Structure 1
Amino acid sequence: MTGWRRLQAAARRLRAELLAVSHAARDPQTPWPARALALLVLAYALSPIDLIPDFIPLLGLLDDLLLVPAGL
């Protein structure tokens, strides 16, 4: 598998994990510190403002693939 395809597959897995985090953030049984962290991670992942813009090939996705899992 090429590097680009690996990166795309990782982005798809990350998208699924973010969906799970969004469900956990909305669950009333989730403690508020975990909910706050989940919301911050979701806000960064969904924000159009990134450290490295997504339109830059490879590097644009790389910051999301490193920072968002660190928050997860």
Structure 2
Amino acid sequence: MKLENLKKRAEDLKNNLYVLYLAYRHPKTPIYAKLWAVLVIAYALSPIDLIPDFLPVLGYLDDLILIPAGITIAIKLVPKEVWNECKEKEVDLKEAKKKGIVAGVIIGLIWAYALYLIIKFLLG
């Protein structure tokens, strides 16, 4: 049962990614909170995980612990009035998903380019 609660909590925190994106764009959000928010959002949308998913149990560690921990820290860094204001905004899920897909593709292309540069460097 504890694993089920942990999964639900992780899913709830992941749902806050769009609100975190809105907080990132808010002019009253401090720069350190914006930087952390960018890192968390980029990692959450990235197709590359710190711990590969094919590893039993450990592979889902980032989905269950790392991403929710990053989101929790980001929420604490954003001023409460900014977070509440962003959370109250109407969330258009279709628009949010579209932006998420575009961001995922861009992050995937960045990873592919980084891999290309590494292979090019290694092969001479």
* TM-score, with structure 2 as normaliser: 0.46
Moved over 6 A (4+): none
Q: Which range moves more in the overlay, 13-22 or 41-50?
A: 13-22
> What CA distance in whole angstroms lies between the structure 1 residues aligned with 2:28 and 2:7?
33
Q: Which range moves more in the overlay, 35-44 or 7-16?
A: 7-16
Structure 1 gap segments, 5+ residues each: none
Number of corresponding residues: 71
| 1:10 aligned partner | 9
Superposition CA RMSD, Å: 2.3
- CA change 1:38–1:50 in 2 (3 A) is same
- CA change 1:66–1:8 in 2 (3 A) is closer
Is the counterpart of residue 60 in structure 1 residue 50 in structure 2?
no
Between structure 1 and structure 2, the one with the greater Rg is 2
Query: Sequence identity, in percent?
Result: 49
Structure with greater proportional helix content:
2
> What CA distance in whole angstroms lies between the structure 1 residues aligned with 2:23 and 2:54?
30
Q: Which amino acid aligns with 1:53?
A: P
